[in-house]
Amino acid sequence: MAITLKPVLDAFGIKMVIMTSMQAMSGAGRNPGVIGLDILDNVIPYISGEEEKVQRETQKILGTLTKGAIQPGNFRVSCTCTRVNVLEGHTESVFVSTQSSCHPEDVIKAMREFNPLKGMALPSAPEHFITVNIDPFRPQPRLDRNTEDGMSTTVGRVRKDTALENGIKYLLVSHNTKMGAAKGATLTAELLIKEGYIK
């Protein structure tokens, strides 16, 4: 979610984020994990500690570095995190109240242009950090989790939300064990080497 919020924050500012996640079984790990039979024909409505972590980490990731310390983002985050019968790829339904008014086309443009590592030639970096699909039936984990080898977050159904002030809403799919874990860590290491933090 943070990857998709960054271009929105930069272009329009953010007042509030509301998100519901439908997280893959692989995100549960092995121990205690999700017992296979528990998830069949089911949605688990609670993941211990996940909602607090998402709220805290979203503000931290999108915060600013001031005097050697991170100042968390100055916006509210509320979320519900669930576990669903999907092997890999987290799906999230995201609602954003922006500081300045924007249209879905503006958000799509900002997302498509977002590439914080452009020109750095990092082997694991995707060409597009965010892939926007205009098909109303996308994104879907099975079809979109491996976009750019699992390193691009796929966004779809970008539209206005009438309940929130300056409201925008969309869905996303991100590969939780690639960009969200192993390959994301590799990309971070590549960046640290490029920036001279690791030799």
What are the backbone angles phi and psi of residue 151, rounded to the nearest 5°? -105, -5
Any residues with CB less than 8 A from the CB of 88 and at least 6 apart, and which? 24, 26, 141, 145, 175, 176, 177
Please name each of the domains of the chain with its CATH number.
2-194 (3.30.360.10)
Query: Tokens 């590969």 correspond to what residue?
Result: 175
What are the backbone angles phi and psi of residue 190, rounded to the nearest 5°? -60, -40
Q: What is the CA radius of gyration of the chain?
A: 17
Dihedral sign of CA atoms 78, 133, 153, 89 in order: positive
pLDDT in tens, the chain (199 residues): 999 999 999 999 999 999 999 999 888 765 455 666 788 899 999 999 999 999 999 999 999 999 889 999 999 999 999 999 999 999 999 999 999 999 999 999 999 999 999 999 999 999 999 999 999 999 999 999 999 999 999 999 999 999 999 999 999 999 999 999 999 999 999 999 999 998 8
Q: What is the SS3 assignment for 197?
A: coil
Question: Smallest Cα–Cα separation from 79: which of 61, 54, 62?
Answer: 54
